[in-house]
Structure 1
Amino acid sequence: MNLNQLKNIYFIGIGGIGMSALARYFQAGEKFVAGYDKTATDLTAELEVAGVEVHFEDAVENIPEVCLDKENTLVVYTPAIPKGHKELNYFVDNGFQVVKRSKLLGLITENTFCLAVAGTHGKTTTTSILGHLLHECNVPLTAFLGGISENYNSNLILAGTDVSVVEADEFDRSFLTLSPNLAGITSMDADHLDIYGDADALKSSFGDFSRRIKTGGKLFVKNGLPLSGITYGIEDDSDYAIQNIKIKDGSYIFDVKTPDLWLEKLEFNLPGRHNLSNALLALAMAVEYGCPHQQLAKALASYRGVKRRFSTHVKTDDLVYIDDYAHHPEEINAAHQAVREMYPNKKVLAVFQPHLFSRTRDFIDGFATSLAQFDELLLLDIYPARELPIEGVTSKWLLDKVSSERKKLIDKSQLISEIQKSDAQVVLTIGAGDIGEEVKRIKKALSFES
């Protein structure tokens, strides 16, 4: 497949965070870009402003006529699209070139120097830090991000095509389409068991990914993971290790031991040890790529984060409101650690929307334990995403397992009023579903905006 010769790219599921980045990439490359998604969002609105044609009804007659040119059109879809999708079946039945998003990402990056970040947690933040570090060091790169970077207000950094920075997504084994030069693995906790079946199969897939690294390439692994590579860790004996951590005015100040030298008094402004670990992996990969140390230190201090990754929306002496994408027990634990470290002795209210019936079922006890750490809990119904309900798997089942007294099951219509009833000084909304669309309303209510 010659991507340069194609004139039209049609995306089925164009509003997804990964799909919309690819749409932006091809739009910038002067292709005709169009697509379908189930619902209108801020991402689809921004694509439309950029000139991308988007519609929201699954109907073949809505496909732009130019995209019906079989010889010059590539159709891209995500694994979340149901098998009965009319448009997808039309393209398949009529012999169009049809590929998954992951396959296309592999094609785009195969002739670049590729830096890829994998892991069940932390890959979006790490990828965005890495993209920012390389960009600030004037590397000619394209970075495809799984979230909206606060520095660039986009999920795409487009500053050249020699180097690519990508998330290596383990869902549906998508990362096995990539062949990176430098690859990092943040974590290998059990997840996506609806795809893998068990934790051993997931771990095996990460091993397969590590073997996709190009000859002469390098693998970076968090210290303790069962893979061989350049190790990184916090206050340990890793090849890259953070030492002498201090907190000053809400920021981390620390030193980094590398295989060759010490980097002193680096600054990083995202709270949480998990984010500090993410920053270390990005820094290690940028050092091994060849970025100058002084420029890296300056770039790290200027990194502002990813939307919905521990994003602070209200911060006063009396109240703090933070929103986070955490949707796995380990991610909730990390968010809890960050809140307690940055706001010790303050009462914390967590508002959680579980994501997927299967994930809730598979990690029910882990969710119960992680959520019980907060002083107060408001629990929303499970966000189904791509799934149908599973009998007996409900938020009420989860709530009953949480061993705390101040807990309540609510629906979205009660969200603002229940938050306002709380006497908590820190409010934390967490989840990967459409709870993110409630952030503006919550911020407005808590900051008393008109």
Structure 2
Amino acid sequence: MLSVKDIQSVYFIGIGGIGMSALARYFNALGKTVSGYDKTPTPLTQQLEAEGIAIHFEENLTLIPQRPDLVVYTPAVPKQHAELLYYQQQEVPVLKRSEVLGIISNSSFNICIGGTHGKTTTTTMTAHVLRHTGYGCNAFLGGISVNYQTNFWSDPRNVAVIEADEYDRSFLRLHPDIAVISSMDPDHLDIYGTEKNLQDAFIEFSQKLKPQGLLFSKYGLPRSSELKAGKHFTYSLDNTNADIYAKDIRMQDGSYSFSVKLPDIELNDVALHMGGLHNVENALVAIAIAQQLGISPEKIKEAIAAFKGVKRRFEYVVKSSRMVFVDDYAHHPEELNALINGAKALFPDRVCTVIFQPHLYSRTHDLSSGFAKALNQADKVLLLPIYPARELPMEGVESALIANQMQAGKVQLIEKAALLNHIKETILNNKDQLHLLITAGAGDIDALVLPIAKLTEDHAG
């Protein structure tokens, strides 16, 4: 098997992806020669270039290294990509991102955090707690930590905190000592076909645990009796039948304080300065993992209080007396439900407007009724066109599929080009109301966040 020490040069096809860029930063930190391709420049690729990684943005065989020791690609890259095809025809190892993570995790103590949603925040919280307390870890994150402005960091301690991605069955390549399963709701059915097949994959993920491995799973998951681990704890926001749960939850100005019931200890007066009760639940896992690793309760509490969140995970973009603007990556009905429900609970006196960009034709087709139900919680919804990502259009599948299942008069279909003017005229010019504005989606809606924020500055006082 290829080992990290055998690799001196690495080329990434799709280097700007959140998971791919973490791997690129890993090899760069080891002093390897790292370069890559991506379709378009982004703030993340600009950061990678500033860190010394050469990147080009055209599919061009004259720009690629001829004989790298390893080529890494993401399944999001088309199979007919010229650079990918070239390397597949050469005697060069060409591996998926997940396979490389498997190689890296083969020789470390691994905390692997999976679930159809919740995994990015939980992974980032866990890695932050280990870093902030001085325990130390290598972190491979699926989002940008606000505390450290990166999705990767290294540490001399041979412990890795890894976001375990179920897409393309990637997480089955990992070698967990501690595993988390936060959810198994139907998603990626273009890969799995059925909800049962998805659940089968999570059950197989639990079986990847080392013999004395420790599993944390959300209480009440379907088929939880089939999950296998040397030691197994369940967790829940507030269900006292779980092994781990929160008590005495109090909300104030977008933050929470609560107590945590663990199997053999209780932590009181924990503070989390991040919105959404689902993030209190995510924090329970990070706290429980840290406690199992022997980190002191006081250090854990200090770390949670210092956690600033993850970019695009219940991120406060604007927070003022008149306007609260939250941006979130939510792209599954359960995520949207938690986001909207959590935001409205924190800010019950504000008019809630959600701007949602559906992600993938297949997901919209499979889960349209769930999206409609979640979005109906808002006072008003602006639906952008579907972001296709890797997919070609599907006949009859567009954002109207969601809108047609929503309450009449609540939803409006809108193009991106018309959005800013609509926000100005119908929301910001209404000075008699307190506003809660939410942008949500996993596509390119993030490019609208800064323009919306700038637009609100004159109206936010």
TM-score range, shorter chain: over 0.9
With structure 1 as the length reference, what TM-score do the two structures score? 0.97
Per-residue deviation, 1:404: 3.6
Whether the 8 Å CA contact 2:253–2:346 is kept in 1: the answer is: no
1:276 and 2:272 correspond: no
CA distance in 2, matches of 1:37, 1:250: 37
Partner of 1:129: 125
Partner of 1:77: 73
Per-residue deviation, 1:177: 0.2
Partner of 1:446: 456
1:339 pairs with 332, 337, 343, which one? 343
1:230 maps to amino acid: F
1:429 and 2:439 correspond: yes
Partner of 1:146: 142
Partner of 2:66: 68
2:53 maps to amino acid: V
SS of 2:312's equivalent?
Answer: coil
Matches within 5 A, 1:1-80: 1-63=2-64, 67-69=65-67, 73-80=69-76
1:378 pairs with 369, 372, 382, which one? 382
CA distance in 2, matches of 1:137, 1:146: 22
1:232 and 2:235 correspond: yes
Partner of 2:214: 218
2:166 maps to amino acid: E
Whether the 8 Å CA contact 1:381–1:410 is kept in 2: the answer is: yes
CA distance in 2, matches of 1:200, 1:177: 20
Partner of 1:286: 290
Whether the 8 Å CA contact 2:14–2:37 is kept in 1: the answer is: yes
CA distance in 1, matches of 2:458, 2:45: 29
Whether the 8 Å CA contact 2:357–2:440 is kept in 1: the answer is: yes
1:56 maps to amino acid: F
1:94 maps to amino acid: Q
Structure 1 unaligned blocks of 5 or more: none
CA distance in 2, matches of 1:32, 1:391: 45
Per-residue deviation, 1:318: 1.0
CA distance in 1, matches of 2:400, 2:391: 18
With structure 2 as the length reference, what TM-score do the two structures score? 0.94
Comparing 187-196 with 153-162, greater Cα deviation is found at: 153-162
SS of 2:4's equivalent?
Answer: coil
Partner of 1:262: 266
Q: 1:373 to 1:249 in 2, by over 3 A?
A: closer
Q: CA RMSD in A?
A: 1.2
Whether the 8 Å CA contact 1:356–1:383 is kept in 2: the answer is: yes
Whether the 8 Å CA contact 1:122–1:278 is kept in 2: the answer is: yes
Per-residue deviation, 1:139: 2.0
Whether the 8 Å CA contact 1:131–1:157 is kept in 2: the answer is: no
SS of 1:187's equivalent?
Answer: coil
TM-superposition CA deviations, 1:24-47 (whole Å, max 9, x none): 111111111000001110010111
CA distance in 2, matches of 1:161, 1:91: 34
TM-superposition CA deviations, 1:359-404 (whole Å, max 9, x none): 0000011111111111111111000000000000011222222114
Comparing 110-119 with 220-229, greater Cα deviation is found at: 220-229
Partner of 2:180: 184
CA distance in 1, matches of 2:365, 2:444: 20
Percent sequence identity is 46
Per-residue deviation, 1:138: 1.4
Comparing 241-250 with 340-349, greater Cα deviation is found at: 241-250
Structure 2 unaligned blocks of 5 or more: none
Per-residue deviation, 1:256: 1.0
SS of 1:363's equivalent?
Answer: helix
CA distance in 2, matches of 1:376, 1:419: 12
Comparing 229-238 with 114-123, greater Cα deviation is found at: 229-238
Whether the 8 Å CA contact 2:18–2:143 is kept in 1: the answer is: yes
TM-superposition CA deviations, 1:211-261 (whole Å, max 9, x none): 000111111011111325211112222111111111234321111111112
1:206 pairs with 189, 195, 202, which one? 202
CA distance in 2, matches of 1:316, 1:242: 29
Per-residue deviation, 1:140: 3.1
CA distance in 2, matches of 1:405, 1:333: 20
1:342 maps to amino acid: L
2:306 pairs with 291, 295, 302, which one? 302
CA distance in 2, matches of 1:176, 1:77: 17
SS of 2:385's equivalent?
Answer: coil
Comparing 158-167 with 378-387, greater Cα deviation is found at: 158-167
1:211 maps to amino acid: Q
SS of 2:6's equivalent?
Answer: coil
Per-residue deviation, 1:73: 1.5
SS of 1:282's equivalent?
Answer: helix
Comparing 260-269 with 172-181, greater Cα deviation is found at: 260-269
CA distance in 1, matches of 2:127, 2:153: 7
CA distance in 1, matches of 2:241, 2:81: 51
CA distance in 1, matches of 2:173, 2:142: 17
Partner of 1:369: 373
SS of 1:76's equivalent?
Answer: strand
Per-residue deviation, 1:292: 1.4
Per-residue deviation, 1:161: 4.5
Whether the 8 Å CA contact 2:142–2:151 is kept in 1: the answer is: yes
TM-superposition CA deviations, 1:329-369 (whole Å, max 9, x none): 11110011111111012111110000000000000111111
Partner of 2:246: 242
CA distance in 1, matches of 2:237, 2:93: 46
CA distance in 2, matches of 1:332, 1:140: 33
1:116 maps to amino acid: C
Q: How many residues align?
A: 444
Partner of 2:393: 389
